Amino acid sequence: MKSISEELNLNNQKILLRLDLNVPLIDDKITDTTRIDKILPTLKFLISQNTKIIIISHVGRPKGQVVNELSLRPICDDLEMKLSQNIKLISKGIKEITSKDLFNNDHEKIVVLENIRFYPEEEKNNPKFAKHLASLADIYVNDAFSCSHRAHASIDEITNFLPCYSGLQLDLEVGALKKITSEIKKPITCIIGGSKVSTKINIIKNLIPKFDNIIIVGGMANNIIKYMGNQIGKSLKEENCDPIIKEIISLSETENCKIIYPQDAVVGKNLNGSPQTKELSEISSDEMILDIGPKTIGIIKNIIDKSNTILWNGPAGYFENPSFANGSIEIAKKIIENKKSNKIYSVIGGGDTVSLLNSLNVVNDFNFVSTAGGAFLEYLEGKELPGIKALN
Binding residues for ligand 3PG, per CB under 6 A? 20, 22, 61, 146-147, 150, 196, 199, 351, 373-374
When CB distances are held under 5 to 8 angstroms depending on the partner's kind, the choice from ligand 3PG, Mg ion, none that residue 262 binds is none
Least Å distance, CB 184 to Mg ion, is: 23
| Nearer to ligand 3PG among residue 267 and residue 354 (C-beta) | 354
Give CA 271 to chain center in angstroms. Answer: 22
User: CA 241, 245, 257 angle in degrees (round to 5)?
Assistant: 155
Cβ atoms of 231 and 188 closer than 8 Å: no
Least Å distance, CB 375 to Mg ion, is: 7
Cβ atoms of 163 and 322 closer than 8 Å: no
Least Å distance, CB 117 to ligand 3PG, is: 8
Alpha helices, H only, 184-285: 197-207, 218-227, 242-254
Q: Answer yes or no whether residue 315 interacts with Mg ion by CB under 5 A.
A: no
| Nearer to ligand 3PG among residue 212 and residue 378 (C-beta) | 378
When CB distances are held under 5 to 8 angstroms depending on the partner's kind, the choice from Mg ion, ligand 3PG, none that residue 387 binds is none
Could you tell me if residue 98 is left (phi over 0), alpha (psi between -120 and 50 degrees) or otherwise beta?
beta
R_g over Cα of the chain: 22
Report the DSSP beta bridge partners of residue 191.
215, 312
Which of positions 344-383 make contact with Mg ion (CB under 5 A)?
A: 373-374
**Strand-pair category, 276-279 with 264-268:** antiparallel
Q: Is 292 helix (H, G, I), strand (E, B) or coil?
A: strand
Least Å distance, CB 375 to ligand 3PG, is: 7
Neighbour-count burial of 104, counting CB atoms closer than 10 A to its CB (0-12 exposed, 13-18 middle, 19+ buried): exposed
| Nearer to Mg ion among residue 315 and residue 373 (C-beta) | 373
| Nearer to ligand 3PG among residue 217 and residue 266 (C-beta) | 217
**Strand-pair category, 213-216 with 258-260:** parallel
Q: Answer yes or no whether residue 218 interacts with Mg ion by CB under 5 A.
A: no
b/e per residue, 56-66, with b = 16+ CB within 10 A? Answer: bbbbeebeeee
When CB distances are held under 5 to 8 angstroms depending on the partner's kind, the choice from Mg ion, ligand 3PG, none that residue 146 binds is ligand 3PG
| Nearer to ligand 3PG among residue 190 and residue 266 (C-beta) | 190
Least Å distance, CB 294 to ligand 3PG, is: 30
| Nearer to ligand 3PG among residue 132 and residue 200 (C-beta) | 200
| Nearer to ligand 3PG among residue 20 and residue 291 (C-beta) | 20
When CB distances are held under 5 to 8 angstroms depending on the partner's kind, the choice from ligand 3PG, Mg ion, none that residue 121 binds is none
Q: Answer yes or no whether residue 386 interacts with Mg ion by CB under 5 A.
A: no
- Using CB under 5 A as the criterion, which residues of the chain lie in contact with Mg ion when the complex forms? 373-374
